[in-house]
Structure 1
């Protein structure tokens, strides 16, 4: 092509290459990367998958001591509510018996 001045389509037809686009790509690769780039196997799409990023640790992770303190507080709250419920039931029973 370069020496004869033939077009890309004529060059493809001369060498029985069904698609002139292949010749066009080869020419572009030759001029951009040199003749060694034509020997590299470049089939298929390029991979767009990036490397996996490491997961960031959660910022709201509570320490073991904080969790134990929270459990203790919730246990105390449950005990308080149970005692309150028992007192309310006792009061209701006494009111029923006085009627």
Structure 2
């Protein structure tokens, strides 16, 4: 059973401390998660990716929510009719 508090929000300073300690002591993601009581080792992996790609400043960017693209945009009527005709022709 994983330790830690699910859905807990971690501060940017805490994330930086975890990643830097992990690099300094050569810990794996699982070991770092266990040592710092983080609920999931994948979260530590994501933090390391952000740290390596964007640096310390990357942790201060708001990243809440999922990226939803929503519904696809409607096509123009002429384009839609052309596509329908093309599909029927191919059949």
- TM-score, scaled relative to structure 1: 0.47
Alignment length (residue pairs): 56
Gaps of 5+ in 1: 59-99
Number of the residue aligned with 1:31 = 52
Q: Following superposition, which runs of at least 4 residues in structure 1 exceed 6 angstroms of deviation?
A: none
- Which among 44, 67, 74 is matched to residue 46 of structure 1? 67
Q: Counterpart of 1:31 in 2: which secondary structure?
A: helix
Gaps of 5+ in 2: 1-21, 79-91
**CA distance, structure 2, for counterparts of residue 32 and residue 47 of structure 1:** 23
**CA distance, structure 2, for counterparts of residue 23 and residue 49 of structure 1:** 29
Q: Counterpart of 1:6 in 2: which secondary structure?
A: coil
Deviation at 1:32, TM superposition (A): 0.8
Alignment pair present for 1:18 and 2:49: no
* Rg (Cα) greater in structure: 1
Number of the residue aligned with 1:91 = none
